[in-house]
Structure 1
């Protein structure tokens, strides 16, 4: 059985248990029906299910429990949401749904803007996995010529449909972010590097909105309180701006949320995107900065 078949079975088990607890027989019946629908070979037993339980815990951080009195399996509550596993699962389930249709053009409208640089993804993944130094040419958007770079790749990060490489630039031994669409001729060298055991990409971006992090080593995240007016609050509640988002007030007129973030250009642009449906309550310095930006924009209208 291929890895695709295993992954398909894992997703079938998760989808069934996300709806409601189920017995082994109910899970098997659901999986058999899904195999018939999508054209996968059906193979299921209690032994494979036990193995699947362990693999699902390892890959997706979702634990499957068992209720003896009901004779049913269920999904344990998530203590920490697994963004990677969840996003991969969402993409895979979308693919399965679209693959059922002979022609999707009349039913599904896909985003026409496609980021450039995705052709480098596989090369960079191999370098990341093997901890190989990479070299490439990089062009900034300030009209400067492309420059040759050598770097130690640390992670790939997605933001607003673009992908970025987090890497240590060996020119000055500084951690930087490189957009894949501005990268040319990436090449994996045969030279390996020793990863810093103290570096954690999740910690690095913990208080960041987007890809920008303050260059100052002593920079600290700030407590930000935003007020969203009317129905905008419902959107912000259903799709939080950041993992640190906490609701501190909610009624028919507004939704107030608290965030702990570095105040960066990416975050300021996000606030401006919501126009007159959002007000910054604190910090005062952020209010002043936005006021200056909005006054400057008046000259164009």
Structure 2
């Protein structure tokens, strides 16, 4: 049985009823109490059935739950439920086995941040929780995340993370690949995103109205600023990245439908690992498949398509096909 928010509300309400010495709770009273609690949570909830209530009680009594012991008192045809130990409560328990498994899963996700500067506490907290909650063995790695712990600029990750949460303005010294020396500017950090093992900071440069992204490995220095913070009031970053591959988004760009001819040897890979969420298969023969994607073209898309070599050909639109052709031609000239 999975434990979701509704289930937790029900278990806590049942716990409250079982530990209440001043009132008798039979199945009708327990059902009413649970449904009232759910109605407060969701508003207008239709509630749960008797069958669900019996399943909840059985789970709480099981070893996967809290191994509760209930005293069942019969009065005529009615049966009333309360804890055998009047001082017992599931709120006094640390975690049940199912919650322990969920914590182990959470540790695996948190481990992605282990080793990052200012996130050393994650490893320390994991060890302490394992010891306190009896989760020995949960630190053994069984999932590998794509990361580069030696990437330059990772030492700023923790400060930038906290600056976003705390809405802290920053003075950032930044040196782009084409700059001979760093430039310093006032920056309002809004979002951190990883792409291709690199981290990027999105936000507002005070000198520009449009959003800016900075590669962490090009940041030279960060200082806190007393300047009033400009908040993000217009950008939903989930939507912001919906039509692009990578992190580069150009202003006033139109969504482009790109048709790709894919060698039949690569087609199964492209089917199971789409280039983009908009990907559709248009046609397929014994030698190739035709796919389409609708995106805002950028250099990350170029790099992705070129990485497949002669297995992918851009069919349309003509302008983008020409751009890829020029890049391939320039690359070939290096070998002549």
Query: Structure 1 residues 90 and 272 mapped into 2: Cα distance closer, same or farther (>3 Å)?
Result: farther
The answer on 1:121 being equivalent to 2:157 is: yes
Query: Structure 1 residues 111 and 119 mapped into 2: Cα distance closer, same or farther (>3 Å)?
Result: closer
Structure 1 CA distance, aligned partners of 2:269 and 2:64? Answer: 33
Q: What do you get for the CA RMSD once the two structures are aligned?
A: 4.0
Structure 2 CA distance, aligned partners of 1:230 and 1:155? Answer: 39
Does the 8 Å contact 1:167/1:177 carry over to 2?
yes
Matches within 5 A, 1:167-186: 167-186=203-222
Structure 2 CA distance, aligned partners of 1:43 and 1:113? Answer: 33
**CA apart distance, 1:277:** 0.5
The answer on 1:236 being equivalent to 2:276 is: no
Structure 2, unpaired ranges of 5+: 5-54, 67-92, 115-125, 127-136
Query: Structure 1 residues 113 and 231 mapped into 2: Cα distance closer, same or farther (>3 Å)?
Result: farther
Equivalent position of 1:223 in the other structure: 257
1:144 alignment partner, SS class = coil
**CA apart distance, 1:114:** 3.6
Does the 8 Å contact 2:151/2:217 carry over to 1?
yes
The answer to which of 166-175 and 124-133 deviates more is 166-175
Map Cα deviations across residues 50-106 of structure 1 (whole Å, 9 max, x no partner). xx9xxx9xxxxxxxxxxxxxxxxxxxxxxxxxxxxx9x88745889999437xx9xx
- Report how many aligned residue pairs link the two structures: 231
Matches within 5 A, 1:76-87: none
Query: Structure 1 residues 121 and 109 mapped into 2: Cα distance closer, same or farther (>3 Å)?
Result: closer
Larger Rg: 2
1:132 alignment partner, SS class = coil
Query: Structure 1 residues 294 and 93 mapped into 2: Cα distance closer, same or farther (>3 Å)?
Result: same
Does the 8 Å contact 1:123/1:187 carry over to 2?
no
Query: Structure 1 residues 189 and 248 mapped into 2: Cα distance closer, same or farther (>3 Å)?
Result: same
Equivalent position of 2:236 in the other structure: 200
Does the 8 Å contact 1:123/1:188 carry over to 2?
no
Equivalent position of 2:140 in the other structure: 100
Equivalent position of 1:256 in the other structure: 290
Equivalent position of 2:178 in the other structure: 142
Return the TM-score normalized by structure 1: 0.63
Return the structure number with greater relative CO, CA threshold 8 A, min gap 6. Answer: 1
Does the 8 Å contact 1:222/1:262 carry over to 2?
yes
Structure 2 CA distance, aligned partners of 1:163 and 1:185? Answer: 16
Query: Structure 1 residues 29 and 187 mapped into 2: Cα distance closer, same or farther (>3 Å)?
Result: farther
Structure 1, unpaired ranges of 5+: 1-8, 11-22, 33-40, 57-85
Equivalent position of 2:328 in the other structure: 294
Return the TM-score normalized by structure 2: 0.57
